[in-house]
Amino acid sequence: SKRIKNVSISVPILYGNHSVRLEPEERTERTPADHTHKWTVFFKPVLDNIDLTPLIKRVTFKLHETYENSVRLLEKPPYQVTETGWGEFEVIIKLHFHPGAELGINEKNFQIFHALKLHPFNPLIEPLPNGEVHLVLYDELVFQEPTEKVFEILTQK
């Protein structure tokens, strides 16, 4: 597929985590006693009508080594991982694009480093009674001189 010169397409994305205190009734016999929080880390396009599955083969979330199977693979949306735990750490979210030949994507796999937050971090926000914390960040995936095929995928309604 031919490349389109002097064009770049930005896809607005959101990533981050939600966390809430783990309540006693939510625990199961498999929940470690030292786990205090339940959290979800996620990646998604801002716009609901954008389908990245023709471009993204899988998304991996690399968790702290204290987790079993610390690299979690997701082959389709929603691209997110829910876990319980006690500590904050850096999650590496990696987007693996389909092999370049067909789409002409020569960009490297895109990586996002997200510092998972379990504890309130914004002094301007009154802490919520259930210990909820929301950290959502904005970024853009930029495709420079996309092929016609990638252009079509990213601009379809």
Residues that bind ligand SLL (CB under 6 A): 32, 64, 66-67, 85-89
Q: Report, in Å, the least distance between residue 78 CB and ligand SLL.
A: 22
Closest CB to ligand SLL among residues 80, 84: 84
Integer-rounded Cα Rg, in Å, for the chain is 18
Q: Between residues 1 and 36, which has the closer beta carbon with respect to ligand SLL?
A: 36
d(CA 80, CA 61): 8
**At closest approach, how far in Å is the CB of 57 from ligand SLL?**
28
Q: Of 121, 53, 117, 124, give the one whose Cα is nearest residue 85.
A: 117
For 113, the token pair is: 């480093």
| Angstrom distances, CA of residue 95 to CA of 19, 26, 141 | 23, 32, 10
What is the smallest separation between the CB atom of 67 and ligand SLL, expressed in angstroms?
5
Q: Measured from the CB atom, is 84 or 147 closer to ligand SLL?
A: 84
> How far apart are CB 89 and ligand SLL at their closest, in Å?
4
